[in-house]
Amino acid sequence: MLKTPAARELEPVTIDPMLRDRMLGLRGRGSRPRIILAESHDERVLRAAGALAEVGVQPILIGDGNEVRNRARQLGITDADPGWSVDDPARLAAGRTGERIRSSAERKRPELAEQWLTDPVFLAAAAVKEGLADAAVAGADRPTADVIRAGLSIVGLAPDSSLLSSSFLMRLRDGRYLGFGDCAVIPVPDDEQLSAIAIATARTFAAITDQHPSVAMLSFSTAGSAQHSDIDRVRLAIEHIRSRCPELEVDGELQFDAAIVESVAKSKCPESAVAGHANVLVFPNLAAGNIGYKIAERLGGAAAFGPLLQGLAAPINDLSRGASVSDIVNVGLITCLQALTPAADAQQRTTSTAHTFTTK
């Protein structure tokens, strides 16, 4: 059932101030990223498109133009220039995006080619791959697995990436931002995967916030206070990180309190350059990460943006099926910031002083 305009007025769109400022700053330098929103049939997505346009983004909706605009009018979205455009799925399927989908399907799942050609999530991924848009967001009414499958099948992994993982951007009640990884994709990462997750999460955090990442590898032990094979995996991961990205500020193993509370850090690991002020927290497995971000959100009052996919050749992000309009807008802005921050720039921020799927 569609909500009345009066009901919708009770749900104002709340845009994260840091994300708004970052995007408006980039817009002031002439950048206006194009983002594909796959689910134009969803009221939340239509409202989010208008909000994104207001802060310097060019939203592109996939759907029949007349149907989308009629639906917008029914919802009270009647601006003469809403700031977004519509791409017809049949037109996309008949062009370069369709060729991309057929080519990908022939290599991986030829029996699904025709299905993918009518799937807006796959069309969105192909449009990004072909340069028709800079980024894409999907998943408002689809499982995480569908979005990941489209990203991997059509866009593929980045040349320097061997793993698709995820992170969340968390805004705490005091205004601080933290990166949490991995909370949605890799159930039990080995030491190599854990190191890849840490580096990817640091780069994602830097790209979004423009802050220098300080990475804590979490465990139930701090600096050798306990011995266990799970702790050994974390220690090996740190060795890999220091070998691959030697200037990244990283330490562990650290318990959560030692990672973020300065007084605890001084007591447990006073020599650590990370302990007490970490802003990127890497969990040892998916259970810990998923539980951790939901505790921070539900009991700690943090805002959770994600899951943000890491490792793809182009930015495509997932939405919770329970996402609000504000959630869609904020994840859309994050995805655009990822598109506007080349991988090399994000990597520089991490080194200077400046597949298994889960459902939602």
Tokens of 154: 């059509």
pLDDT for the residue 1: 33
Q: What is the DSSP letter of 348?
A: H
In this structure, whether the domain defined by 13-156+312-360 belongs to CATH 3.40.50.10950 is answered with yes
pLDDT for the residue 81: 54
Find out whether the peptide bond into 318 is cis, omega within 30 degrees of 0: no
Tokens of 47: 């409202």
Q: Tokens 């850090």 label which residue?
A: 265
What sign for the dihedral angle of Cα 15, 18, 19, 24? positive
Domain 13-156+312-360 identical in fold to domain 163-310:
yes
pLDDT for the residue 26: 75
Give the amino acid at 79.
D
Residue-level pLDDT, tens digit, the chain, 360 residues: 334 343 444 478 899 999 999 988 877 666 789 999 999 889 999 999 988 988 889 999 998 888 888 888 888 776 545 688 888 888 888 888 888 888 887 787 878 778 878 888 988 998 898 888 999 999 998 888 999 999 998 899 999 888 999 999 999 999 999 999 999 999 999 999 999 999 999 999 999 999 999 999 999 888 877 788 888 999 999 999 999 999 999 998 899 999 999 999 999 988 898 999 999 999 999 999 999 999 999 999 999 998 899 999 999 999 988 889 999 999 999 999 999 876 434 455 554 433 333 334
Q: How far apart are CA 261 and CA 310, in angstroms?
A: 28
State the maximum Cα–Cα separation within the chain, in Å, rounded to a whole number.
65
CATH number of 163-310: 3.40.50.10750
pLDDT for the residue 323: 87
For residue 210, give every residue at least 6 positions away whose Cβ sits within 8 Å of its Cβ, in sequence order, or none.
22, 349, 354
Q: How far apart are CA 267 and CA 239, in angstroms?
A: 24
What sign for the dihedral angle of Cα 49, 52, 54, 56? negative
Q: How far apart are CA 203 and CA 26, in angstroms?
A: 19
pLDDT for the residue 28: 62
pLDDT for the residue 82: 64
Q: How far apart are CA 351 and CA 327, in angstroms?
A: 30
What is the pTM assigned to this prediction? 0.86
pLDDT for the residue 356: 36
Count Cβ atoms within 10 A of the Cβ of residue 23 and give its class: 0-12 exposed, 13-18 middle, 19 or more buried: buried
pLDDT for the residue 236: 96
Find out whether the peptide bond into 253 is cis, omega within 30 degrees of 0: yes
Q: Where are the domains of the chain?
A: 13-156+312-360, 163-310
